[in-house]
Amino acid sequence: QVQLVESGGGLVQAGGSLRLSCAASARTLSDYNMGWFRQAPGKEHEFVAGIEWISSRIYSRDSVKGRFTISKDIAKNTLYLQMTDLKPEDTAVYYCVARTGVMSQSSNAYDYWGQGTQVTVLP
């Protein structure tokens, strides 16, 4: 079992930056691969970025490459998403996710979800 709590969302002008954090509680996160999804109003969940906890291999969608950086702090059991050069189309609720299987870009594959944090980017 793992519990995920996100923080760091907010309102920002286009071109601005935000850092999302996800505090994870589990006996050990080495059994999990973690990532971020987002959901804009009226749309389905969309994979943003993921990281394998042991190998640190990173996956990200093309539209955020060069702007978003996923990272982890093993000592703090915390996952981060540093977002720069934000665009209005990045507006969504961002969710931290975890699963025990291989990394996946399908929302259906993830067993554990945080409550979500709203990111709003103004034009």
Percent of residues, the chain, with pLDDT higher than 70? 100
Rounded to the nearest integer, the mean pLDDT of the chain is: 94
Residues 113, 4 contacting (CB under 8 angstroms): yes
**2-11, 52-61, 71-80: which is most confident:** 2-11
The dihedral through the CA atoms of 119, 58, 85, 21 has a sign that is positive
Residue 77, pLDDT above cutoff 80: yes
